[in-house]
Structure 1
Amino acid sequence: MAQPSSWPRAAYLHIPFCRHHCGYCNFTVVAGRDDLVGDFLRAVELELQSLESPREVDTLYFGGGTPTHLPAAQLEQLCELAKRWHPLADGYEWTVEANPGDLDVERIEVLAQQGVNRVSLGVQSLNNGKLAKLERDHTAEDVRRVIAQLEEAGIGVSIDLIFAAPGETLVQWQADVEAALSFAPNHLSVYGLTYEQGTTFWNRRLRGDLSEVEEESQREMYLWSIDRLAAEGILQYEVSNFARPGFRSRHNQVYWAAKEYYAAGPGAARYVDGARETNHRSTTAYLKRVLAGESPVAEREVLDEVQRNRERIVLGLRRNEGINRENYLAATGRSLDEVAGVELAKFIELGLLADDGNAVRLTREGLLVSDSIWPELL
């Protein structure tokens, strides 16, 4: 029987396990609790059973945490479970996040045999001194080994990098990017280090143990990255994401297009039937609830028309092509100016947005301060 066209075509699974909790990380993560892996697999299976029937998807994404921290046998079990409830359509994209320190031949073999065709690799840096500052548990040599093994297995690789690590200079960042480019990547994600409340980096900064790279240096690093990657044919298509033609993350584009998607696991957020839901962020609370037959959902919000229309603007503006006026009208039944004309005009006047009559998009200056724009548009 054909699947209803209204069902989401993307799914996300959150795997919270890590070998080590990095000081800057604010994701739903547990380190040193591998004793919970069995319960986790049982809980995810129970949560997926709430779908009642398999839901075919075009994109599947395993995030974390570190999905590849699972032992090979459990990783294989999770892959089989995911495919049972989210069968993959022809031409699918299946991404698994991985850390260079966890990935080995056995796990890569599991990924390849299961059909994973894309790995998002948490490289963060190819400078061992910087990796130590970021509290990463891998080395530049681990990165080189893993990328070679993934390529040999026929799995595409996206590289994550972090700029503005404590004490980092523009010259050091440039060397890091050049080292990453030596792998001739098809996709790169570039993130400025942020100090999130609740992390050890946040507390260390408050104590004066860590100092944030000055704002002007961060701007230089980010803008240089845009130009340098473009010179290699790796074009920016979203605030933090760069790809060669044909290699954009299809899964993440589902989010930015304001389309619906399934999700399971602790802290996982889904958007189904007009409702945004987020599971409990505590892994132990999530396990306790699901294994007791209770809902794991901690937050639920049904967006009204105004909220949906405004959220579509914010998500769309993250992309370099911005928001096409005709497409927006077709999707919402409202014009862009009707929904947020006053706010958009303000940011255009400030030079943070550009409007060519067909589309509204972030300017180069707007890219630098995009996070300060979103609250006013929502």
Structure 2
Amino acid sequence: MSPAGYPIPRAAYIHVPFCAHRCGYCDFTLIARRDDLIDDYLRALEIDLDRLKGRPVIDTLFFGGGTPTHLSAEQLRRLTKIVLGHFQLADGYEFSVEANPAGLDDAKIAALADAGVNRVSLGVQSFDAEILVRLERDHRRRDIVSAVEHLLESIGNVSVDLIFGVPGQTLANWKGTLTQAIKLRPTHISTYGLTFEKGTQFWNRLNKGELRQASEELERSMYAAAMDQLSDAEYVQYEISNFARPGFVCRHNEVYWRGLPYFGFGPGAARYINGSRQINHRSVSTWLKRVFADDSPIGEIDELSAEDGARELLVLLLRRCEGASKQEFQQQTGFDIDELAREAVDCYTGCGLLEETDTHIRLTREGRFVADTVFVDLL
């Protein structure tokens, strides 16, 4: 336990903000076409990690971005050496890295495998060339197939990310993408509905009438197709957007959904430590300047009240198909679900969006289609 009585994090997230270019729908913290800053980033990351006390033991480690594999093989080796010099991986660890199918060559895969990476999350999004162009992705089907096959051989645990609801995408096209993903037999598949985040190019184009959102009816049909096809292919849905073959759930993401503490390093990275959620500056240049000046890289601190924290945890737990254990929720937060949300729970169980047993509350299949609506009334 930490001095304040909070559990010490057993998970760490490292944000690698570099990309070849920014896709029109992306609102993540990243910097494109500035590879000249990679060496500065690696030096700053090591300086920031030096502030850790000791060398914490962690069960899960996740490199996200950006595109971590945009780095060269030599830079990836430097990155993993720096991070693993500051954290100890526990027995049975999960070490995940996000990757782009384009440019993922044998040297980069070898660098990941040699460092002990045992899970790769691949940003596939689609197998259809026209959809990939629309999403401004720089890979094609042949890159996906090659990357998945090589990763399964070298690392073994491969997750594939897919996007539905793309302007112009049909239900038949989406079903075809699911079929092609299943044929490659990755261990894990994530499906996300396209969102138009304010400030992105897609948001601006939507408001100019250059893009049209998929209808709610079409998005619903696409999500239903994902649940049905993946279930038929023996992928178990364990969270609203995530499906895994038995034994291959993403343990790092489970840390977030269960409200457990975690370390976070790099520009825009979040951490949850001692009951406080902190977010680093999103600007890569600001983050670099502050770290090199020995200032705190933290740009935002979110101190939730006990009740607000409990409500947020309830929503996170309900993202998981297992739902929220009443007993564990009370032990973790000090609140009874009845105290917080009895009226909303009764309302949504009555209309078939939630189901309740003596021990758990969870979303029904129907509830997963409108989860955001349910969650608003629980917060």
Q: Using the TM superposition, give the Cα deviation of residue 34 of structure 1 relative to its aligned residue in structure 2, in angstroms.
A: 0.5
Partners of 2:307 and 2:103 in 1: CA distance: 44
Residue in 1 that maps onto 2:114: 113
Partners of 1:200 and 1:332 in 2: CA distance: 40
Is 1:187–1:248's contact at 8 Å kept on the other side of the alignment?
yes
| Matched letter for residue 241 of structure 1 | N
Q: Which runs of 5+ in 1 are unaligned?
A: none
Q: Percent identity?
A: 48
Q: Using the TM superposition, give the Cα deviation of residue 5 of structure 1 relative to its aligned residue in structure 2, in angstroms.
A: 9.1
Q: Using the TM superposition, give the Cα deviation of residue 88 of structure 1 relative to its aligned residue in structure 2, in angstroms.
A: 0.5
| Matched letter for residue 16 of structure 1 | P
Residue in 2 that maps onto 1:367: 368
Matches within 5 A, 1:47-196: 47-196=48-197
Partners of 1:225 and 1:349 in 2: CA distance: 26
Is 1:20–1:137's contact at 8 Å kept on the other side of the alignment?
no
Is 1:16–1:266's contact at 8 Å kept on the other side of the alignment?
yes
| Matched letter for residue 188 of structure 2 | H
Structure 1 stretches of 4+ with a deviation exceeding 3 A read none
Residue in 2 that maps onto 1:358: 359
Partners of 2:33 and 2:372 in 1: CA distance: 33
Q: Which runs of 5+ in 2 are unaligned?
A: none
Partners of 1:154 and 1:199 in 2: CA distance: 34
Is 1:117–1:154's contact at 8 Å kept on the other side of the alignment?
yes
Partners of 2:346 and 2:292 in 1: CA distance: 51
Q: Using the TM superposition, give the Cα deviation of residue 110 of structure 1 relative to its aligned residue in structure 2, in angstroms.
A: 0.3
Q: Say which SS state the counterpart of residue 85 (structure 1) adopts.
A: coil
Partners of 1:332 and 1:18 in 2: CA distance: 39
Q: Using the TM superposition, give the Cα deviation of residue 187 of structure 1 relative to its aligned residue in structure 2, in angstroms.
A: 0.5
CA deviation string 1:298-341 (max 9, x = no partner):
11022232122112101100000111112222323332101222
TM-score relative to the length of structure 1: 0.97
Higher mean C-alpha deviation, range 155-164 or range 260-269: 155-164
Q: Using the TM superposition, give the Cα deviation of residue 90 of structure 1 relative to its aligned residue in structure 2, in angstroms.
A: 0.6
Partners of 1:256 and 1:182 in 2: CA distance: 29
Partners of 1:154 and 1:46 in 2: CA distance: 30
Partners of 2:334 and 2:29 in 1: CA distance: 37
| Matched letter for residue 265 of structure 1 | G
Q: Say which SS state the counterpart of residue 119 (structure 1) adopts.
A: strand
Partners of 1:324 and 1:109 in 2: CA distance: 41
Root mean square deviation, CA, Å: 1.6
Matches within 5 A, 1:275-286: 275-286=276-287
Is 1:235–1:242's contact at 8 Å kept on the other side of the alignment?
yes
Is 2:157–2:248's contact at 8 Å kept on the other side of the alignment?
no
Residue in 2 that maps onto 1:306: 307
CA deviation string 1:32-89 (max 9, x = no partner):
0101101111111111111132111000000000000011111111101111111101
Partners of 1:102 and 1:166 in 2: CA distance: 26
Higher mean C-alpha deviation, range 359-368 or range 181-190: 359-368
The 1:201–1:5 alpha-carbon spacing in structure 2 relative to 1, beyond 3 Å, is: closer
| Matched letter for residue 94 of structure 1 | F
Q: Using the TM superposition, give the Cα deviation of residue 377 of structure 1 relative to its aligned residue in structure 2, in angstroms.
A: 1.8
Residue in 2 that maps onto 1:339: 340
Residue in 2 that maps onto 1:261: 262
TM-score relative to the length of structure 2: 0.96
